[in-house]
Amino acid sequence: MTLPKVEIKGIRDGLLVTVGEASWETQREALLAYLDEQSDFLQGARLALSIGNQPLRPVQLGRLRDEISERGLTLWAVLSDSPKTQETAQNLGLATRISRPLPERRIARLDTRLESGEQTMLVKRTLRSGYRLENTGHIVVIGDVNPGAEIIAGGHVIVWGRLRGMVHAGAQGDEEAMVCALELFPTQLRIASQVITTLHRRRGKAVPSCAQIVDGAIVIRDWDAH
Amino acid sequence: MTATVVTITSGKGGVGKTTATANLAAALATEGQKVVCIDADIGLRNLDVILGLENRIVYDLVDVIEGRCRLRQAMIRDKRLPELYLIPAAQTRDKSAVSPSDMVRLCNELRPEVDWILLDSPAGIERGFRNAIAPADIVLVVTNPEVSAVRDADRIIGLIEAEEKGPARLIINRLKPEMVRRGDMLDIDDVLELLAVELIGVVPDDEQVVVSANRGLPVAMDGNNQAGKAFKNIARRLLGHKVPFMDLEANKGFFDRLARFFRTTGE
Ligand SMILES: Nc1ncnc2c1ncn2[C@@H]1O[C@H](COP(=O)(O)OP(=O)(O)O)[C@@H](O)[C@H]1O
Ligand SMILES: [Mg+2]
């Protein structure tokens, strides 16, 4: 039996993976085989998946999403002609279309890429809800990061302001990465593959804080402690 | 005359855009200004209902844009005030019937005729929103003191900045002093700290708003009540007057600081 064809192309929001028509099990098998084969190239990528007419139930799609995330990749969208699959995807919190009505105003990357991921992006502005900042190196923001904004960095994230959005440092697996902010109250904070959710805001004065992985878990300390 | 175009928008639906548009238009007209309000919420028109002008609609915004009538013919005059007009939205069309450049053209045609053009924006961040902000000189963002409304306001303010229509000014609508006191509602400081824009008014939650809306008589035209007064204050701020914020006793910290501010600036 031959597996269906898997095609991949770069889109604004990551990579679009198209799997040719076949039964679901075969499509799934083809996709996973492809992801394993291309793992070096794909590292940490965000995938949108286009799978034709296949009507998928939540267990099927949920399982695939987990299998994708076990490979260090993120499934964020599923494009399908099947209303059933669209509904399933929406219930799982996945997007079902990739062309957004308004272009995401992503702040442009510096065009010199360093292999080592040491390149730093400096942004001086408030990141409001809906903004997304991505860089393979470090990210420094001078300003606030509001709830609904997202920062994804291969290296460290430093915010000279209030950090209340979603932040992912070491997004390609670097467990040494840190997240520091004058006020650290992200809706979600990730370092490498560790996640912590809402740090509730204490009343009173916030102190500059820093998150990093210690003994396999994210801990948060005062910024000046080291 | 060269009109100032003010767009009233929000991101989230149901926060009070239409209410604010109707009341600011009425309040400006009461101050002797010549005002046209345009309902840019194509397909879901309701500014005409709030203003009590529904039964007088003959032509609408899309008719003007598609050349079926002249601008003048679509302007319904509100007879209760000297110079208040409404251009209603089309009910049976959708937002794609109008483009941002249509709105710019329409407003440019109106500008020499009036002092103020108020544009009531639909909810959302798509075509309808773009139509509404395209001609704007000033953008007013309406929000409620609730997390989800503030989140959407933040998104909208970002988009307004990106369109170079900013800085937006903020109206906090439906504040319930009682809930704020109990700590069950965001207070003004919480909202301003996040949104970091200039506050142009705080409107209390007032059931008179609903009663008046049902009668087609905006609160700002309707005697003495807190919400109507708050809208009148916003209108006067738009006219460049320094009007102290009403003490809703909602937020002692905020109002104390404002009071101090007004004292130090000699108001
Ligand atoms: N300050 C207020 N107090 C009480 N009710 C209000 C107030 N502002 C708006 N409302 C009510 O909230 C509802 C939504 O208002 P509306 O102006 O239609 O919102 P939008 O145009 O943003 O969708 C209406 O029923 C309106 O009467
Ligand atoms: Mg409305």
Per-residue pLDDT of chain B (267 residues; tens, 9 = 90+): 799 999 999 989 999 999 999 999 999 999 999 999 999 998 888 999 999 999 999 999 999 999 999 999 999 999 999 899 999 999 888 778 898 889 999 999 999 999 999 999 999 888 889 899 999 999 999 999 999 999 999 999 999 988 888 899 999 999 998 888 888 888 899 999 999 999 999 999 999 999 999 999 999 988 788 999 999 999 999 999 999 987 764 445 555 555 544 444 433
pLDDT band for position A215 (cuts 50, 70, 90)? very high
Pick the CATH number of A117-225 from 3.40.50.1100, 3.90.1150.10, 2.160.20.70, 3.40.50.300: 2.160.20.70
Cβ within 8 Å of residue A170, ≥6 positions away: A153, A154, A155, A176, A177, A191, A192
| Number of domains within chain B | 1
Q: Which of A146, A163, A185 to mutate to test the interface with B (most CBs of B within 10 A)?
A: A146
CB of B14 closer than 6 A to ligand 1?
A: yes
Range ranked top by mean pLDDT from A72-81, A155-164, B154-163? A155-164
What is the reported pLDDT for B19?
A: 97
Q: B42, B209, B229: which to mutate for ligand 1, most atoms within 8 A of CB? A: B209
Residue B143: phi and psi, rounded to 5, are -140, 165
CA of B76 from ligand 2 middle (Å) equals: 19
ipTM of the complex: 0.71
Ligand nearest, relative to CA of residue B215: 1
CB pairs under 8 A between A and B: 35
Q: Which residues of B touch A (CB under 8 A)?
A: 125-127, 151-152, 154-155, 157-159, 161-162, 194, 196
Q: Which two tokens stand for residue A76?
A: 């964020």
Q: Among residues of chain A, what percentage have pLDDT more than 70?
A: 87
Residue in the structure block whose two tokens are 């209108």: B235
In one-letter notation, the amino acid at residue A69 is: S
Which residues in chain A have Cβ-Cβ distances shorter than 8 Å to B155? 128-130, 148
Q: Which domain holds residue B87?
A: 4-265
Q: CATH no. for residue B209?
A: 3.40.50.300
- Taking the C-alpha atoms of residue B120 and residue B105, their distance in angstroms, rounded to an integer, is 17
**B46, B48, B51, B54: CA torsion to nearest 10:** -120
**B90, B91, B92, B97: CA torsion to nearest 10:** 40
Query: B195, B153 in Cβ contact below 8 A?
Result: yes
Ion ligand 2: residues, CB < 5 A: B 17-18
Helix axes B188-195, B252-264, angle to 10 degrees: 70
Higher pLDDT, A142 or B91: A142
CB of B173 closer than 6 A to ligand 1?
A: yes
Which residue, among B141, B145, B207, has the nearest Cα to B175 in the 3D structure? Answer: B145
- How many whole angstroms from its chain centre is CA A170? 11
**B196, B200, B206, B212: CA torsion to nearest 10:** -130
Which residues in chain B have Cβ-Cβ distances shorter than 8 Å to A129? 151-152, 154-155, 158
DSSP E strands in chain A: the ranges are 6-11, 14-19, 46-50, 74-79, 120-124, 132-135, 138-142, 150-153, 157-163, 166-169, 179-184, 188-191, 194-197, 209-214, 217-222
Higher pLDDT, A80 or A184: A184
What is the reported pLDDT for A203?
A: 59
User: Model's pTM, two decimal places?
Assistant: 0.70
The residue contributing the CA closest to ligand 1 atom 6 is B209
What is the reported pLDDT for B91?
A: 84
- Taking the C-alpha atoms of residue B152 and residue B194, their distance in angstroms, rounded to an integer, is 12
* Dihedral sign for Cα atoms in the order A66, A72, A73, A76: positive
**Residues paired with B85 in a beta bridge:** B36, B77
What is the reported pLDDT for B163?
A: 84
Query: B219, B206 in Cβ contact below 8 A?
Result: yes
Distance, in angstroms, between A33 CA and closest chain B CA? 39
Hey, is B263 helix, strand or coil? helix
CATH number of A6-112: 3.30.70.260
CB of B234 closer than 6 A to ligand 1?
A: no
CB of B16 closer than 6 A to ligand 1?
A: yes
Domain ranges of chain A: 6-112, 117-225
